[in-house]
């Protein structure tokens, strides 16, 4: 049994890797501007072709610019009817695909949000196996049947797993010369072609010995009340697109989240019933977090949801999403999930690869990744540096010979400030200093002379005077590390 | 402290740990009237051994680490869960992070090697990561509360405090939030220093109290009152904004002067309530599904009176599988208000990147970004020294002597020179950055690759070194979900002109088999082998166990598929 084809044609595996890696820019340009409408409307999925069906001897010619789909099956000996002007074409070679000949469904007939999400989510709407040939356009436009005639169950349905397909005994049999009242003994028409089992059913004998191919429509993984929507006069097309214009309705006519957002755009109390909170529609664990693992894959946010697509560079990018919309992260992730990386005790190699212990001095100097995102410099960093004897907590006189991490004092410490002087490094990345040194190290030179024990080298930035009074009034401690309380230099700040 | 006694302490902690797990399970499984709620017990145990060598080569830590966490949760305490109806839950997680590879000099002061002593060091610390009671959808959805140790995440950062938070969701497209309590601080019971502002060491124990005169920069831990408020949009989902304010205070006594005053007066001190941090931030995200989005935020430090961080990004979707973006990141380090480093001259780090993301093409995704990071300094490192010497004495001989023998930077003309604004014009040292990443996923595995480059330019005055390399990693189910095998190979090179002896290229590989003996239990072993000229060969062995049981005897690992690769 063939797998339904995605709207966007599936790439072959490894060769496409290489192609994409080599021609990335060309792909962007081509996809962005070269494809026109065809590029924005990938190929619709054909229905499953049942085993044993015979290809049509006269398949529709491929549409220019599209990928030809599989040849539609046809019943032997059933000639395709000639189209009548003004009439919706129908016949045995119709109703096999969303559009006759497996043409592309125009975007305007697709569910809202299709432009942003060409295919419905596999995790929410698992792949289906449709073994019915059915021409919605014919039934609705030509025979003037409404959606409710066949899908009346939707008007009472409050759960997504309710079966909304028509009861053939109450609907199909009204017009077709068939009797589905006992499903184990269905009888097909003897005179009228439209009553034969294989007029609608495909595969596994198509009715011989009451055997037709099984149709598989897995339960959607979401909360959904059709009744709630229909009671508010939200018609079918508002979520499913123009099903009346297509022949076979497939998964592709199922809603897209971007489309749901046209109404479900609000959250919180007193903002109507179309709440926008994730768990309004998505199913949850007992913890209240969204269920994200399904047999068909793991649910992940779309690109357009605050830029939260979990792309290969998500590790680098996620901070801006978490900082702006942390509630979105908390819909799926527990406290533990964040803590495992940000407050974890096992090194995440995606962040700290290779021999990180050897490499991290340069990474810290480059601020890439930013150490303070996860680490407290004076404890996590400096404590470990002390343990291995890198950090300096004692005077130079107590340090063992050769235990100097920086250039010699005449380059690194003393004036004048040469190109390798520590002042430049401190100005560019002060956190690197703080990851090893204590205040006393700095006060040795930068505290005032005399009681405070320093050398009086002023470390303050230009313009400091305008800020110091406010700072001193709120916390005098840092000032008093280097200045005595009666220091004249401190007077302007009091 | 002897090795035996340390191990004894660790065993006691671990024994207590296991007893508490058993007690919780017994209480929940045995209490019939508690079965209306859903409970969940989770745990991780990670044991790892590796060696860390000093860059000088003589000190080697033989790290023998054991980390274990225990998470307990009870959901739906009100009984049956009903969407949008009030619900109550309790969640907590505790952690033991032990290192049995510690040796005497780290815990016991040795005058012969004082540099290695870590005041207040605890080799078997236990902390409560979070523990709170939460109520949601109260008062017809208007009210949410949390009481206990909890995280908050917003533009001011990821933060943890003990206290209460109340959120009021109004019908006016906005929610209001107030919170208050005590910031989690290192040295307090069941706490770590992870959440404090940078720049201050705080701890506890006899070492720090008894030896603080030797370590005046270290502070004894004390409570840190904190409070804040936020306004957050609750309107259309395509827009999200949050305005947040937070203030934290320091309490307790601390040294100010770093050296004892002459005449035996000892160290000067301050005491009492004083500011720790005072910040306000705003973030905004606006996204339209078929067009793109804009996102940005900033945090203003009211104590330092400057913007401590800001970021912005602009995304454009020219196609449903293509995203183009530009990102800007501005970071100006700030510190606890007790720290002197706030008032040292330092500059923001600014990063600008362009980005493209492709995918998914049949399971294949790729991203690439590139740009620059700008390092700023007040003055020109190339010419500053000469100008500094000329300002003291323009005579060429004097200048030569000044450059050779140095000057006193605290007095006279030099002080005037360094405080003159035109001598401190901003100079920029740029780094070039680039990142590429790709991933291919299939039904029971994935393979991914990433590579990075960051390099400076010019001589030692502006070139801050370079680093480049990449990794290929992946994971594959080999026995129907029972047994997975993961691996990573990685090669990196780095060079720092300030420390040329530390120039190295390194190759590393990791092999990580995983066993899922039961549906929600995972055992993982990782073997890591690094090789480079600095360490020769380095090995790390890690064993990892993840457990989860809930009231329905089912559960999961709580990880999205894409994150399975992070640990590899």
- Residues in chain A within 8 Å Cβ distance of B356: 24, 28
Whether B57 and chain A come into contact, CB under 8 Å, resolves to no
Under DSSP, the state recorded for A81 is: P
Q: Return phi, psi of residue B350, to 5°.
A: -115, 135
Partner A, chain B 322-381, Cβ-Cβ below 8 Å: 322-325, 327, 331, 333, 335, 337-347, 349, 355-359, 361-369, 373, 375-379, 381
Return the percentage of chain B with pLDDT > 90, whole number.
60
- Residues in chain B within 8 Å Cβ distance of A419: 381-382, 385, 459-461
Q: Give B5-55 as a DSSP string.
A: HHHHHHHHHHHHHHHHHHHHHHHHHH-GGGTTSEEEEEEEEEEEEEEEE-T
Q: Return phi, psi of residue A48, to 5°.
A: -65, 130
Q: What is the pLDDT of residue A480?
A: 96
ipTM: 0.90
Q: What is the pLDDT of residue B60?
A: 78
- Smallest CA-to-CA distance from B335 within A483, A383, A438, A425 is with A438
Q: Please say whether the beta carbons of B203 and B189 come within 8 A.
A: no
Q: CB B257 to CB A12 under 8 A?
A: no
Mapped onto helix, strand or coil, the DSSP state of residue B222 is: coil
Cα A110 from chain centroid (whole Å)? 21
pLDDT grade for B270, boundaries at 50, 70 and 90: very high
Whether B457 and chain A come into contact, CB under 8 Å, resolves to no
Mean pLDDT for A451-462 is 90
Residue B165 Cα distances to A269, B145, B173, B260, B306, angstroms: 18, 6, 20, 44, 28
Q: Please say whether the beta carbons of B113 and A393 come within 8 A.
A: no
Q: What is the pLDDT of residue A224?
A: 92
- Give how far A112 is from chain B: nearest CA, Å: 11
**Per mean pLDDT, which of A212-216, B186-190, B241-245, B391-395 is the most reliable?**
B241-245
Q: Please say whether the beta carbons of A9 and A67 come within 8 A.
A: yes
**What is the C-alpha to C-alpha distance for residues B392 and B398, in angstroms, rounded to an integer?**
9
Q: From the CB of residue A376, how many other CB atoms can be counted at a distance below 10 Å? A: 25
Q: CB A368 to CB B140 under 8 A?
A: no
Q: CB A415 to CB B275 under 8 A?
A: no
Q: What is the pLDDT of residue B518?
A: 79
- Smallest CA-to-CA distance from B256 within B342, B340, B193, B199 is with B340
Mapped onto helix, strand or coil, the DSSP state of residue B386 is: helix
In what helix (H) or strand (E) does residue A294 lie, and over which residues does it extend? strand A293-294
Helix residue ranges per DSSP H, B345-494: 384-392, 396-405, 412-418
Under DSSP, the state recorded for A44 is: P
Query: Does residue A81 carry a pLDDT above 90?
Result: no
Query: Does residue B5 carry a pLDDT above 50?
Result: no
Partner A, chain B 110-129, Cβ-Cβ below 8 Å: 113-118, 121, 129
Query: Beta strand B349-361 with B322-331: parallel, antiparallel or unpaired?
Result: antiparallel
Q: CB A320 to CB B311 under 8 A?
A: yes
Predicted confidence (pLDDT) per residue in A120-134, tens digit: 999 999 999 999 999
Identify the residue with better confidence: B327 or B548: B327
Return the percentage of chain B with pLDDT > 70, whole number.
88
**What is the C-alpha to C-alpha distance for residues A271 and B174, in angstroms, rounded to an integer?**
11
Nearest CA in chain A to B507: A354
**What is the C-alpha to C-alpha distance for residues B17 and B15, in angstroms, rounded to an integer?**
5
- Give how far B521 is from chain A: nearest CA, Å: 16
- Residues in chain B within 8 Å Cβ distance of A452: 257-259
Partner A, chain B 18-47, Cβ-Cβ below 8 Å: 38, 40, 42, 44, 46
Predicted confidence (pLDDT) per residue in A355-412, tens digit: 999 999 999 999 999 999 999 999 999 988 888 878 765 555 555 566 678 888 889 9
Q: Please say whether the beta carbons of A214 and A201 come within 8 A.
A: no
Q: CB B142 to CB A269 under 8 A?
A: yes
Q: CB B320 to CB A320 under 8 A?
A: no
Identify the residue with better confidence: A32 or B540: B540
Under DSSP, the state recorded for A140 is: I
Q: What is the pLDDT of residue B9?
A: 44
The token pair at A17 is 């890797």
User: With DSSP H G I counted as helix, E B as strand and the rest as coil, what are the percentages for chain A, rounded to 5?
Assistant: 35, 5, 60
Q: CB A355 to CB B199 under 8 A?
A: no
**What is the C-alpha to C-alpha distance for residues B377 and B307, in angstroms, rounded to an integer?**
17
Q: CB B491 to CB A378 under 8 A?
A: no
Residue A178 Cα distances to A150, A212, B479, angstroms: 16, 14, 49
**What is the C-alpha to C-alpha distance for residues B158 and A373, in angstroms, rounded to an integer?**
9
Query: Beta strand B536-550 with B521-532: parallel, antiparallel or unpaired?
Result: antiparallel
Return mean pLDDT, chain A. Answer: 80
Cα B30 from chain centroid (whole Å)? 39
Q: Is the pTM of this model over 0.80?
A: yes
Residue B250 Cα distances to A133, B274, B343, angstroms: 74, 5, 18
- Residues in chain B within 8 Å Cβ distance of A475: 250, 274-276, 303, 337-338
Q: What is the pLDDT of residue B317?
A: 93
Whether B176 and chain A come into contact, CB under 8 Å, resolves to no
**B176 CB burial (10 A radius; 0-12, 13-18, 19+):** middle
Across B482-491, B538-547, B558-567, least confident range: B558-567
Q: CB B295 to CB A321 under 8 A?
A: yes
Q: CB A313 to CB B369 under 8 A?
A: yes
Nearest CA in chain B to A474: B275
Query: Does residue A28 carry a pLDDT above 60?
Result: no
- Give how far A270 is from chain B: nearest CA, Å: 5
Mean pLDDT for B451-471 is 94
The token pair at A205 is 């004998």
**What is the C-alpha to C-alpha distance for residues B434 and B355, in angstroms, rounded to an integer?**
10
**What is the C-alpha to C-alpha distance for residues A204 and A210, in angstroms, rounded to an integer?**
10
Q: Where are the beta strands (DSSP E) in B332-363?
A: 349-361
Residue B303 Cα distances to A78, A427, A475, B202, B278, angstroms: 84, 19, 9, 20, 6
Strand partners, B127: B95
- Give how far B105 is from chain A: nearest CA, Å: 8
Helix residue ranges per DSSP H, A211-355: 226-231, 236-240, 257-260, 314-324, 326-329, 335-342
Across A113-122, A187-196, A288-297, B433-442, least confident range: A187-196
* Residues whose CB falls within 8 Å of the CB of residue A5, separated by 6 or more in sequence, listed in order: A43, A44, A45, A46, A69, A70
- Residues in chain A within 8 Å Cβ distance of B531: 355
- Give how far B512 is from chain A: nearest CA, Å: 12
The token pair at A219 is 């339960």
Q: Please say whether the beta carbons of A429 and B375 come within 8 A.
A: yes
- Residues in chain B within 8 Å Cβ distance of A269: 140-142, 169-171
Residue with tokens 């950090």: A391
Q: Where are the beta strands (DSSP E) in B33-116?
A: 38-53, 60-75, 87-99
In what helix (H) or strand (E) does residue B318 lie, and over which residues does it extend? strand B306-319
Q: What is the pLDDT of residue A451?
A: 86
Q: CB B290 to CB A21 under 8 A?
A: no
Q: CA gyration radius for chain A?
A: 35
Q: What is the pLDDT of residue B444?
A: 87
Residue A32 Cα distances to A19, B305, B316, B324, angstroms: 17, 45, 11, 11
Query: Beta strand B218-220 with B201-203: parallel, antiparallel or unpaired?
Result: parallel
**What is the C-alpha to C-alpha distance for residues A242 and A136, in angstroms, rounded to an integer?**
10
Q: What is the pLDDT of residue B560?
A: 32
Partner A, chain B 383-422, Cβ-Cβ below 8 Å: 384-386, 388-389, 402-403, 406-411, 414-415, 418-419, 421
In what helix (H) or strand (E) does residue B297 lie, and over which residues does it extend? strand B292-301
Mean pLDDT for A320-331 is 89
- Give how far B567 is from chain A: nearest CA, Å: 5
Under DSSP, the state recorded for A67 is: -
Mapped onto helix, strand or coil, the DSSP state of residue B202 is: strand
pLDDT grade for B34, boundaries at 50, 70 and 90: very low
**What is the C-alpha to C-alpha distance for residues A329 and A434, in angstroms, rounded to an integer?**
32
Query: Does residue B355 carry a pLDDT above 70?
Result: yes
- Residues in chain A within 8 Å Cβ distance of B348: none
Cα A235 from chain centroid (whole Å)? 28
**What is the C-alpha to C-alpha distance for residues B477 and A494, in angstroms, rounded to an integer?**
67
**What is the C-alpha to C-alpha distance for residues A260 and B362, in angstroms, rounded to an integer?**
25
**What is the C-alpha to C-alpha distance for residues B289 and A304, in angstroms, rounded to an integer?**
5
Q: What is the pLDDT of residue A247?
A: 94
**Per mean pLDDT, which of A188-197, A289-298, B292-301, B548-557 is the most reliable?**
B292-301
Q: Please say whether the beta carbons of B220 and B252 come within 8 A.
A: yes
Q: Where are the beta strands (DSSP E) in B457-560?
A: 466-477, 483-495, 504-518, 521-532, 536-550
**What is the C-alpha to C-alpha distance for residues B144 and A118, in angstroms, rounded to an integer?**
37
Q: Please say whether the beta carbons of A332 and A292 come within 8 A.
A: yes
Q: Please say whether the beta carbons of A315 and A351 come within 8 A.
A: yes
Whether B15 and chain A come into contact, CB under 8 Å, resolves to no
- Give how far A147 is from chain B: nearest CA, Å: 29
pLDDT grade for B154, boundaries at 50, 70 and 90: very high
Return mean pLDDT, chain B. Answer: 87
Query: Does residue B415 carry a pLDDT above 90?
Result: no
pLDDT grade for A37, boundaries at 50, 70 and 90: very low
Mean pLDDT for B388-404 is 89
């Amino acid at each position: 049994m063939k797998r339904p084809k995605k709207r966007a044609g599936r790439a072959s595996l490894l060769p496409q890797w290489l192609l994409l890696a080599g021609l990335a820019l060309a792909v962007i340009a081509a996809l962005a501007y070269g494809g026109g409408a065809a590029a924005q409307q990938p190929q619709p999925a054909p229905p499953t072709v049942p085993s044993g069906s015979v290809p049509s001897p006269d398949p529709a010619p491929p549409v220019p610019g599209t990928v030809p789909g599989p040849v539609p099956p046809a019943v032997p000996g059933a000639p395709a009817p000639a189209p009548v002007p003004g009439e919706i074409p129908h016949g045995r070679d119709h109703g096999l695909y969303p559009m006759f000949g497996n043409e592309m469904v125009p975007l305007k007939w697709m569910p809202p949000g299709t432009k942003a999400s060409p295919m419905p989510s596999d995790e929410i709407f698992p792949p289906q196996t449709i073994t019915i040939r059915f021409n919605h356009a014919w039934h609705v436009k030509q025979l003037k049947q409404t959606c409710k005639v066949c899908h009346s169950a939707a008007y009472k349905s409050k759960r997504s797993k309710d079966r909304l397909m028509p009861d053939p005994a109450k609907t199909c049999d009204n017009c077709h010369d068939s009797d589905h009242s006992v499903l184990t003994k269905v009888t097909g028409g003897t005179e009228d072609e439209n009553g034969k089992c294989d007029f609608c059913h495909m595969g596994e004998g198509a009715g011989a010995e009451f055997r037709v191919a099984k149709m598989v429509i897995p339960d959607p993984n979401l909360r959904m009340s059709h009744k709630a929507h229909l009671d508010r006069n939200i018609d079918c097309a508002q979520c499913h697109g123009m099903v009346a214009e297509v022949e076979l309705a497939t998964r592709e006519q199922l809603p897209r989240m971007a489309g749901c957002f046209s109404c479900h755009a609000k959250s919180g109390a007193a903002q109507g019933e179309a709440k926008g909170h994730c768990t309004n529609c998505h199913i949850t664990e007992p913890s209240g977090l969204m269920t994200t693992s399904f047999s068909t894959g793991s649910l992940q946010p779309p690109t357009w949801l605050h830029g939260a697509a979990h792309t290969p560079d998500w590790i680098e990018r996620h901070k801006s999403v978490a900082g702006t919309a942390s509630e979105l992260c908390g819909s799926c992730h527990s406290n533990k999930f964040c803590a495992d990386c940000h407050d974890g005790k096992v090194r995440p190699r995606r962040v700290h690869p290779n021999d990180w212990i050897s490499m991290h001095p340069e990474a810290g100097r480059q601020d890439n990744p930013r150490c303070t995102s996860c680490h407290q410099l004076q404890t996590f960093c400096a404590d470990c540096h002390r343990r291995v004897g890198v950090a300096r907590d004692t005077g130079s006189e107590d340090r063992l010979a050769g235990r100097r991490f920086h250039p010699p004092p005449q380059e690194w410490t003393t004036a004048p400030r040469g190109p390798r002087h520590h002042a430049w490094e401190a100005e560019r990345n002060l956190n690197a200093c703080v990851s090893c040194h204590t205040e006393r190290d700095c006060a040795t030179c930068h505290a005032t002379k005399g009681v405070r024990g320093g050398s009086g080298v002023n470390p303050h930035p230009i313009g400091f005077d305008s800020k110091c009074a406010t700072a001193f009034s709120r916390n005098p401690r840092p000032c008093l590390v280097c200045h005595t309380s009666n220091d004249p230099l401190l007077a302007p700040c009091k | 402290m002897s090795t035996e006694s340390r191990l004894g302490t660790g065993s006691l902690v671990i024994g207590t740990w296991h007893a508490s797990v058993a007690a919780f399970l017994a209480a929940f499984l045995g209490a019939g009237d508690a079965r209306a709620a859903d409970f969940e017990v989770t745990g991780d145990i990670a044991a790892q051994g590796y060696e860390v060598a000093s860059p000088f080569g003589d000190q080697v830590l033989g790290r023998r680490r054991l980390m274990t966490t225990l998470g307990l949760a009870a959901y739906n305490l009100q009984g049956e869960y009903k969407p949008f109806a009030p619900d109550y839950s309790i969640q907590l997680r505790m952690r033991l992070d032990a290192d049995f590879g510690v040796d005497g000099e780290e815990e016991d002061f040795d005058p012969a090697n004082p540099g290695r002593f870590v005041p207040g060091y605890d080799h078997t610390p236990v902390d409560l990561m979070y523990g709170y009671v939460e109520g949601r959808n109260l008062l017809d959805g208007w009210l949410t509360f949390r009481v206990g140790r909890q995280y908050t995440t917003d533009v001011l950062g990821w933060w943890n405090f003990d206290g209460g938070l109340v959120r009021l969701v109004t019908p006016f497209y906005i929610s209001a939030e107030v919170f208050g309590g005590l910031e989690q601080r290192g040295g307090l019971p069941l706490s770590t220093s992870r959440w404090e502002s940078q720049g201050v060491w705080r701890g506890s124990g006899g070492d720090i109290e008894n030896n603080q005169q030797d370590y005046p920069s270290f502070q004894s831990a004390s409570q840190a009152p904190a409070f804040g408020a936020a306004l957050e949009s609750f309107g259309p989902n395509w827009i999200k904004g949050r305005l947040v304010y937070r203030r934290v205070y320091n309490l307790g006594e601390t040294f100010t002067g770093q050296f004892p005053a002459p005449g035996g007066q000892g160290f000067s001190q301050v005491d009492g309530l004083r500011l720790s941090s005072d910040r306000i931030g705003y973030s905004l995200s606006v996204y339209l599904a078929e067009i793109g989005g804009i996102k940005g935020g900033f945090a203003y430090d009211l104590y330092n009176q400057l913007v401590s961080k800001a970021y912005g990004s602009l995304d454009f979707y020219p196609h449903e599988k293509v995203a183009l973006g530009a990102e800007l990141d501005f970071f100006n380090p700030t510190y606890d208000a007790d720290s002197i480093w706030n008032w040292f001259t330092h500059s923001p780090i600014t990063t600008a990147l362009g980005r493209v993301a492709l995918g998914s093409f049949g399971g294949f995704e790729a991203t690439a970004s590139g740009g620059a990071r700008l390092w700023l300094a007040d003055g020109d490192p190339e010419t500053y020294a000469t100008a500094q010497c000329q300002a003291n004495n323009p005579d060429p001989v004097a200048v030569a002597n000044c450059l050779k023998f140095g000057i006193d930077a605290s007095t006279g003309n030099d002080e005037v020179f360094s405080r003159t604004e035109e001598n401190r014009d901003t100079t920029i040292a740029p780094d070039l950055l680039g990142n590429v990443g790709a991933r291919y996923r299939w039904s029971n595995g994935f393979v991914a690759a990433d590579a990075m480059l960051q390099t400076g330019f010019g001589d030692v005055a502006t070139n801050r070194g370079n680093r480049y390399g990449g990794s290929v990693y992946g994971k594959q189910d080999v026995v129907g979900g029972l047994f997975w095998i993961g691996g990573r190979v990685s090669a990196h090179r780095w060079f720092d002109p300030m420390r040329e002896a530390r120039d190295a290229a390194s190759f590393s590989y990791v092999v990580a088999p995983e066993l899922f003996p039961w549906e929600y239990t995972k055992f993982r072993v990782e073997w890591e082998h690094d090789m480079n000229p600095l360490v020769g060969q380095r090995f790390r062995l890690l064993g990892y166990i993840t457990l989860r049981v809930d009231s329905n005897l089912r559960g999961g690992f709580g990880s999205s598929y894409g994150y399975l690769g992070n640990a590899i």
